[in-house]
Amino acid sequence: MTVKVPPLKCQGIKTRLAEWIKDHSALDDNGTWFEPFMGSGVVGFNVRPRRAVFADINPHIVNFYNAIKDGKITAGIVKEFLEHEGEILQTQGESYYYEVRERFNKDNNSLDLLFLNRACFNGVMRFNKKGFFNVPFGHKPQRFAKAYVTKIANQIKYVVQATSQYDWTFVCVDFRTIIPTAAQSDFIYCDPPYIGRHVDYFNSWGEQDEQELYELLSTTPAKFILSTWHSNRYRSNPAIEKYAYCFTILTREHFYHVGASESNRNPMLEAIVLNYNPLLPVEIEAEKQLALFEKPKEQYVVYSSPSTN
Ligand SMILES: C[S@@+](CC[C@H](N)C(=O)[O-])C[C@H]1O[C@@H](n2cnc3c(N)ncnc32)[C@H](O)[C@@H]1O
């Protein structure tokens, strides 16, 4: 599968794990895909469910996708905008990036967010305590070369087509509001912030959130996959232990290259927690008729029997 990269990127984006997560998801034909921590939306966008509710507490992400859905942002509009802004950036350099950043923090224009997201350092989205976008310039004045703008316009086109073809909604709500609305035939994919990593205005995540998420997932009638981390060279994730009692946990190695913090320097064993029986890796292989050597390294650790079917 060629993973479709979404137009907005964010910390903890699951581009490299999207296929793995998709392979293990299990959405009924009549069910709705719930993604309470959509971030970039890369997982759901690649699953392409017929009905989906994408939610995030960050209103800028949600506004961006609603603007696409409403036809206010199209591939053509993005191309024209980025070509124009890119030209100014090339001439004026760094100072123009900060001008756009100030403009975005005043007006919250979704196109400015896209520009900042692609011109900032490391292509992330980070907001300070006042809720202002605060990522510094990525030091590439020629960032918006023709080919790069075309690539982003194509990413927009993909979402435009999907939102016109499928019943997808984008809402700005807390996970505590959205998870209880999922029914038995629905599927929930959860990718909350990891405690202590990428902390910003929209990503403050603590023990209380972790516990409330656990309680909601433990009682939902829907099937779910929760993305989390299992361990790195130094420690194991204490939050995963409680899931091990009654859910299935699968792990896969993931390398983080950016940043200097402990968790970013080292290989991290990423985990997914499931409340149902996933297909075995061999079954997935058979289904997709892919040669084993084409698959990335993965490791399956089944801690306990799944609680449902
Ligand atoms: C790790 S990111 C999700 C990444 C996403 N799966 C991807 O691949 O791009 C976590 C997301 O959860 C959102 N978030 C944080 N706290 C939240 C909350 N209480 N309710 C809903 N969303 C929340 C953040 O704004 C962020 O976009």
78: left (phi over 0), alpha (psi -120 to 50) or beta: alpha
pLDDT digits (tens, 9 = 90+) for 89-141: 999 999 999 999 999 999 999 999 999 999 999 988 999 999 999 999 999 99
Domain count along the chain: 2
Same domain for 225 and 87, yes or no, is: no
- Three-state SS for 69-116 is HCCCCCHHHHHHHHHHHHHHHHHHCHHHHHHHHHHHHHHCCHHHHHHH
Measured from the Cα of 189, ligand 1's closest atom is 6
- pTM of structure: 0.89
3-state secondary structure of 211: helix
Predicted local distance difference test score (pLDDT) of residue 262: 47
What local confidence, expressed as pLDDT, does residue 203 receive?
A: 83
Give the residue carrying structure tokens 């950036």: 89
Structural domain includes residue 300: no
Considering only CA atoms, which residue is closest to atom 26 of ligand 1?
39
Centroid of ligand 1 to alpha carbon of 274 (angstroms):
19
- State the sign of the Cα–Cα–Cα–Cα dihedral 82, 83, 85, 91: positive
The answer to whether the CB of 12 falls within 8 A of the CB of 198 is: yes
CA dist 258 and 255 (Å) reads: 9
Residue owning the nearest CA to atom 4 of ligand 1:
39
Residues 118 and 266 both lie in one domain: no
Which atom of ligand 1 is the closest one to the Cα of 17? 8
**Paired tokens of 211:** 């516990």
Shared domain for 53 and 78, answered yes or no, is no
- 90 and 37 in a single domain? The answer is no
Nearest CA to ligand 1 atom 17: 57
Q: Are residues 24 and 94 in the same domain?
A: no
* Cα 193 to ligand 1 centre (Å): 6
Are residues 184 and 154 located together in one domain of the fold?
no
Amino acid at 21: I
Q: Please say whether the beta carbons of 231 and 269 come within 8 A.
A: yes
Which helix (H) or strand (E) is 60 found in, with range?
A: helix 59-69
Which of 22, 38, 216, when mutated, tests ligand 1's pocket best, judged by the most ligand atoms within 8 Å of its CB? Answer: 38
Q: Check if 123 has its Cβ closer than 6 Å to any atom of ligand 1.
A: no
> Is the residue at 96 inside a domain?
yes
pLDDT digits (tens, 9 = 90+) for 271-303: 999 999 886 666 656 655 554 444 444 444 444
Intervals of the chain under pLDDT 50? 258-260, 262-263, 291-309
Angstrom distances, CA of residue 266 to CA of 21, 253, 299: 22, 10, 17
Distances from the Cα of 116 to the Cαs of 7, 82, 121, 144, in angstroms? 12, 11, 9, 11
Q: What percent of the chain has pLDDT over 90?
A: 74
Range of the domain at 138: 71-160
